[in-house]
Amino acid sequence: MARIEVPMPQMGESIAEGTVSKWLKQVGDQVQRDEAILEISTDKVDAEIPSPSEGVLVEVLVQEGETVEVGTTVAYIDPEASPGDAASPPAQTQLEEPAPEAVPALEAAPALEAAPAPEVSSQPQPAQPAEAGPVGAEDPSGAGELDSEEAGTERERLRARSTPVVRKIAEEHGIDLSMVPGTGHLGRVTKGDIMSFIESEEATVPTPEAAPVTSPSVAAPPSTQPFAPPVTPAVAPSQAPSDLWKTFYSQVQHPEFPIREADRVEAMDKIRRLTAEHMVLAKRVSPHVHSFIEIDFTQIDNMRRVNKAKWAEQGAKVSFTAFVVWAVSRVLREFPVLNGTISGNNLIFRGNVNIGVAVDLDPGLIVPVIHDADELSLVGIGKRIIDLADRARSRRLNPEEIQGATFSITNPGVLGTMAGMPIIPKGTNGILGTGAIEKRVVVVEDPDTGTDLMAIRKRSIFTLGYDHRMVDGADAARFLARLKELMEGFPEDA
């Protein structure tokens, strides 16, 4: 079958990527040449991406909210398929409901997510009628607390809070707004939503009813959403295993949970959505291992006090984080294995040392990147951190300033946490978590007499999270030992 790629188009000289903000067409929809099939957003611009050909949208590769580089294939159009066709090999099975709005192939992915959940399969629940519409999350505890009425009311309340125009259209067409999937804020139904709902009502034969959970012998996996087929062995052969793995490693769906009376519900903003997705994928892909080491900050603390005035004259503030970034960037040059990633069947060793430093936005978090940190002086790094953090908080970072990290540092210690076990960002091999710097009583050896003494030193526990596919435990240990050595004997001319 001749499928035509839909690439993320070049939208401007300085635009390297785009965020898919909305799919205007669904898998299975017939599209005309030049008809808009998705919307992307970049700073201040929403742009429609037209279909390169007439045909049927058979596969969607990039989800709403995902950002991809220019040239990346985002979907496939099949000029020969008939409307309703999904990706080949078809993901449909006899168990799946014949949804007229064909289930995008990726929605079969939860099959894999659900698989390693033994407590679910060992406690088969009787099939429950799922709720109508894109609702119907099950209580993951299996305690059967799902109160569909409750959930329904809450959703109705959310959905019904739409603009007067939308309510008027709904009235005219006799539509219950709670049945319309809302893409607006807090699930609000926008004018576009209701118009396309009306169109689809007119155009399709059976409306998407509740997806029946067919097989009582198989508990509905808690992570599936209602349109996904239930997990049965029968599903597996119909989809190439490689496709399943691909979706498993590239796509995320968050299970839904019942909303209770007193709850407050907010739609995820963009940062939260991207974070949630990234965290799930990062954990899914990389086998995480964490190693700890305690670093003595006494000398660095002294250096900061001695030089504070001098740095202030240079307009710089050199935080503890700046010292860490400086030292880490130097040590990474010695340990390229921690400054790389596994990519397919290859190992990539990055040529630049770009350090992402997590900045708390409260709420939310962003990770601006200090590019080529290994070429910056300590004061240069200090200045850069202050600048990036300020602009991160005022949301004034340029896109390239949050991209390209080869290693990350996060500082849970700033709020007093003793140590953390951070998640390794996708496409990198390591992240360093720095714990609180605290005065501790430690045993030191008197350099003259060799006797043990108790001393009060400023110490901090560092955690290195590393991808165990590429980084062995001994590599990590050597990295940490070298980092400790450098931090505790911090060069005066850094």
Partner 1 sequence: MPEDRLPALEVRKLGRVPYEKALDLQAELVSRRRNREIPDQLLLLEHPHVITRGTSSLESNLLLSEEELASRGIQLFEAGRGGDVTYHGPGQLVGYPVLSLAPDRKDLHRYLRDLEEVLILTLQAFGIQAAREEGLTGVWVPEGKLGAIGVRVSSGWITSHGFSLNVDTDLEFFSTTIVPCGIQGRPVASMTGVLGRPIRVGEVFDPLLIAFESVFSRSVCVV
Asked if 485 touches partner 1 (CB under 8 A), the answer is no
Contacts of 373 (CB under 8 A, 6+ apart): 325, 326, 328, 329, 353, 354, 355, 381
Cα distance between residue 320 and residue 370, in whole Å: 15
41/114 Cα distance (integer angstroms): 32
Omega before 363 cis (within 30°)? Answer: yes
Give the residues across from 462 on adjacent strands.
293, 434
Stretch that binds partner 1, among 6-14, 226-234, 238-246, 252-260 (CB under 8 A): 6-14
Smallest separation (angstroms) from partner 1 to the CB of 207: 25
| Active-site position among 360, 472, 475, 493 | 472
CB of 206 to partner 1, least distance (A): 30
In this structure, the strands spanning 430-434 and 407-410 are parallel
- Name the residue nearer to partner 1 (CB basis): 305 or 396: 396
For residue 472, indicate whether it is catalytic: yes
Per-residue exposure over 255-283, b if at least 16 CB sit within 10 Å of its own CB, e if not: ebebbeeeeeeeeeeeeebbbebbebbbe
- Of the pair 264, 305, the CB lying nearest partner 1 is at 264
Among 127, 267, 280, 494, binds partner 1 (CB under 8 A): 267
Contact between 268 and 410 under an 8 Å Cβ cutoff? The reply is: no
DSSP-based helix, strand, coil % in the chain, nearest 5 = 35, 20, 45
Mask for 160-199, x = binds partner 1 (CB under 8 A): -x-xxx------------------xxx-x-xxx-------
Residue with tokens 């990706």: 87
CB of 315 to partner 1, least distance (A): 19
CA-CA distance, 105 to 132, in Å (whole number)? 21
253 scored as a contact of partner 1 (CB under 8 A): no
Q: What minimum distance in Å lies between the beta carbon of 34 and partner 1?
A: 6
Closest CA to 5 of 98, 94, 79: 79
35 binds partner 1 (CB under 8 A): yes
Interface with partner 1 by CB under 8 A: which range of 10-18, 122-130, 171-179, 430-438? Answer: 10-18
Angle between helices 320-334 and 378-393 (to 10 degrees): 120
Which one among 209, 283, 398, 444 touches partner 1, defined by CB under 8 A? 398
The two three-digit tokens of residue 123, written as one number: 């406690």
When asked if residue 273 is in the footprint of partner 1 (CB under 8 A), the reply is no
418: left (phi over 0), alpha (psi -120 to 50) or beta: alpha
Segment interacting with partner 1, rule: CB under 8 A, options 5-13, 212-220, 424-432, 450-458:
5-13
State in angstroms the smallest separation of the CB of 64 from partner 1: 11
> Segment contacting partner 1 (CB under 8 A): 107-115, 207-215, 299-307, 391-399?
391-399
If you write DSSP's letter for every residue of 90-142 in order, what string do you get? P---TTS---SSPPPGGGGTHHHHHTT-HHHHTSPPPP-PPPSSS-----TT-
For residue 139, the minimal CB distance to partner 1 (Å) is 27
In this chain, which stretch among 85-93, 264-272, 318-326, 373-381 interacts with partner 1, using CB under 8 A? 264-272
- Select from 397, 424, 486, 487 the one that contacts partner 1 (CB under 8 A): 397
Write down the least CB distance from residue 442 to partner 1, Å: 43
CA angle at residue 278 from 431 to 59, to 5 degrees? 145
Binding mask 337-376 for partner 1 (x = CB under 8 A): ----------------------------------------
Given the residues 387, 468, 475, 493, select the one marked as catalytic: 468
Residues identified as active-site: 468, 472
| Contact residues: partner 1, CB under 8 A | 11-15, 21-22, 34-36, 39, 41-50, 161, 163-165, 184-186, 188, 190-192, 266-267, 269-270, 391, 394-398
